[in-house]
Amino acid sequence: MEITKLMEQFDYEQLVFCQDKTAGLKAIIAIHDTTLGPALGGTRMWPYACEEDALVDVLRLSRGMTYKNAAAGLNLGGGKAVIIADPNTGKSEALFRAFGRFVESLNGRYITAEDVGICVEDMDIVRQETKHVNGVGAIAGSSGDPSPVTAFGVLRGMQACAKAMWGSEQLTNKKIAIQGLGHVGYYLSKFLHDEGAKLVVTDINEANIARVVQETQAAVVGHTDIFGVDCDIFAPSALGAIINDDTIPQLKCKIVAGAANNQLKEDRHGDILREKGILYAPDYIINSGGVINAADELNGDYKRDRVFKALEIVYRNIEEIIAISERDNISTNKAADILAERRIGILGKVRSSFLPRN
């Protein structure tokens, strides 16, 4: 892989490879774009099969964060980090403190938070080495676990899609298939249950399934059977690239709207969904609740009720994206890019004006 050519293709600013033999740390931090502000994006801990897989993932995720933060109306750029390790067996104080020191070395260009495989307690350890971290639990005024906020944003995005598809945002008796019942998927299942939806769920972790079934009475299918469930909404809420040439022919839904990042394996898969009459809620639009939550914490006086009010931008953005898609006869993922790039372009020019230093 020619890394610098790949960075040039999508205009990445910085790629940092992190290694600490004593702590057992192998990590990559990618900063895609800081036009709107410092790069904010979570840290993912995953046992990648090879370093190239980890690199591809962190590059895709960091670019997605640029668009997510821009579309959410935040003064933040896009970045991401991955730690190459099994979150079930590879965690230690030394590892997270070593990672925190690498984050600190970037002097605020990158702000980290939780992602797949990482919890609030892990971020508490990272914060012992750097102040450039969000979502910690031990500090007064911090936002804590962003999962409930992200899940509620996904719910509002689903409701916007439902209104566009069926004329009403009500999800009562709608059959919704959720793939992935981790932090966000769990809270999403609870919100949907409260809305009266009928749930079909799956996860690779049996404990996650048992908890959701106990609390929501959801039906369960195998993790490879979820794509073929006859449902109203399919909600991918695990890892990315799940909408692809193999899974699209299996889909029996009218809407794809979930919490996972990078749901489309390739942009062209958004075109295929449109051709099949399936409404796709672009991932970085519908799952932006986490960064909206983190941005409020950066203000210094975090208020959870204010964050939930701010989540209405998810609903409005979905409506605008659908309108752009219909106006220009393009897929919703391309419409989302237009929305994000428009804000980056306008504010990039505004912020280029010279201001003298004090």
Same domain flag for 328 and 196: yes
Residue at 268: amino acid letter: R
Give the mean pLDDT of the chain.
Answer: 93
Same domain as 59, residue 100: yes
Per residue in 39-59, pLDDT (tens digit) is 999 999 999 999 999 999 999
**Confidence class of residue 5 from pLDDT cuts 50, 70 and 90?**
confident
What is the total count of domains within the chain? 2
Average pLDDT of the segment spanning 232-238: 97
For residues 153 and 121, membership in a common domain is answered with no
Residue 265 lies in a domain: yes
Tell me the pLDDT band of 114, cut-offs 50, 70 and 90.
confident
What does DSSP assign to residue 205? -
Whether residue 111 is found in the same domain as residue 241: no
pLDDT at 206: 95
Pair 240, 284 in one domain? yes
Q: What is the dihedral of CA 149, 152, 153, 154, to 10 degrees?
A: 120
User: Does one domain contain both 207 and 158?
Assistant: yes
Q: Are residues 118 and 151 in the same domain?
A: no
What is the CATH number for 336?
Answer: 3.40.50.720
Residue 141 binned pLDDT confidence (cut-offs 50, 70, 90): low
Please, how many CA atoms are within 13 Å of residue 249, restricted to the half-sphere of its CB? Answer: 2
Same domain, 93 and 193: no
Residue 221 placed within a domain: yes
State the pTM of this model: 0.86
Indicate the DSSP class of residue 301.
S
Query: Which range, of 126-140, 233-247, 258-272, 312-326, averages the lowest pLDDT?
Result: 126-140
Please tell me which residue, 295 or 233, carries the higher pLDDT value.
Answer: 233
188 with 278, same domain: the answer is yes
Average of pLDDT values for 62-86? 95
Give the pLDDT band of residue 17 (cuts 50, 70, 90): very high
Confidence of residue 350 (pLDDT cuts 50, 70, 90): confident
Asked if 108 and 251 sit in the same domain, the reply is no
Assigned domain for 135 exists: no
| Region class of 177: left (phi > 0), else alpha (psi between -120 and 50), else beta | beta
Residue 100 lies inside a defined structural domain of this protein: yes
Give the separation between CA 224 and CA 221, rounded to whole angstroms: 8
**Residue 19 domain-assigned (yes or no):** yes
Token pair for residue 267? Answer: 């942009």
Question: How does residue 240 score in pLDDT terms, banded at 50, 70 and 90?
Answer: confident
Examine the domain organization and report whether 230 and 171 are in the same domain.
yes
pLDDT tens per residue across span 163-200 = 999 999 999 999 999 999 998 999 999 999 999 999 99
Statement: residue 320 has pLDDT above 80: yes
Residue 347 lies in a domain: no
276 in catalytic set: no
Residue with the larger pLDDT of the pair 256 and 4? 256
Asked if residue 23 and residue 151 are part of one domain, the reply reads no
Residue 215 falls inside a structural domain: yes
| pLDDT score recorded for residue 353 | 59
pLDDT reading at 355 higher than 60: no
In order of 75, 177, 305, 325, the CA distances from 160 in angstroms are 25, 17, 21, 15
Length of the chain: 358
On whether the CB atoms of residues 229 and 256 are closer than 8 A, the answer is: no
Please give the residue range of the domain that contains residue 174: 147-288+314-342
- The pLDDT score that the predictor gives to residue 194 is 98
Q: Is residue 95 part of a domain?
A: yes
Contact 123, 135 (CB under 8 A): yes
What percentage of the chain carries pLDDT values higher than 90?
Answer: 81
Tell me the helices (H) and strands (E) count for the chain, helix number first.
13, 12
Pairing type for strands 14-20 and 25-33 reads antiparallel
Q: Of 26, 68, 80, 91, which residue is the catalytic one?
A: 80
- Output the domain CATH number for residue 28: 3.40.50.10860
DSSP string, 50-101: SHHHHHHHHHHHHHHHHHHHHHTT-S-EEEEEEEES-TTT---HHHHHHHHH
Closest CA to 72 of 321, 263, 301, 265: 321
